[in-house]
Each structure stands twice: as C-alpha cells, then as structure tokens.
Amino acid sequence: MNIEIYYAQICGLCHKAMEYFHSRGLQFSAYEVIWDDEKQEWVDSPNVREMKQRAGNVDFVPQIFINQDIHIAGWRKLEPMIESGEFDRLISRLE
C-alpha cells in the first residue's frame, strides 16, 4: 500500500493526519507545499504542480492519495472515515 500526503508546515490538520498515520504504523510519503498568505496562492514548486495535477486547483491541504488512485481531500474527509471505520476497511482491503 502506498500513502502519499501533500502538506503545509503551518497546517495543523496536516500534522494531525500524519500523526494518525504514524500512530497506526502506516508508512507514507510526505510532500511539502507552501502557501503564500499575501498572494493567497501556492508558491510554485514541483510538489504544488503535482498536487494540482492530481487533486485539481485546490486551496487546502492535506491532500491524501492511497495507491495513486484513491483521493481523500482533506482532514475533514479523513476524520469521519477514521471514526466510522471506513478508513480501516479501506486499508485492510489494500494490504
């Protein structure tokens, strides 16, 4: 199973998602993106371009991908999946 997360250093919910993955012993790749508050846009970088290609023109993180094709757009999508057991069912099918 391959988990990837695009995160911003200033994003508390990104860190919450990564802490959750760590607590479960799940390996993941983390790709940092930087938000420019003054310009209200992502600072251009290879990670930002890749995130936009995969997730669309999003203005929030985390953007989580599992096995390249399963997209979880943000902590607000991930948290209910965790609470309902849906995330556990998903990763158990993929392991």
Q: Is the pLDDT of residue 95 over 90?
A: no
Predicted model pTM: 0.95
For residue 94, pLDDT over 90 is answered with: no
Q: Is 80 exceeded by the pLDDT of residue 49?
A: yes
Classify strands 70-73 and 63-66 as parallel, antiparallel or unpaired.
antiparallel
Nearest of 85, 69, 55 to residue 2 by alpha carbon: 69
Domains in the chain and their CATH numbers? 3-94 (3.40.30.10)
Work out the percent of the chain whose per-residue pLDDT is above 90.
97
Q: Residue 71: is its pLDDT beyond 80?
A: yes
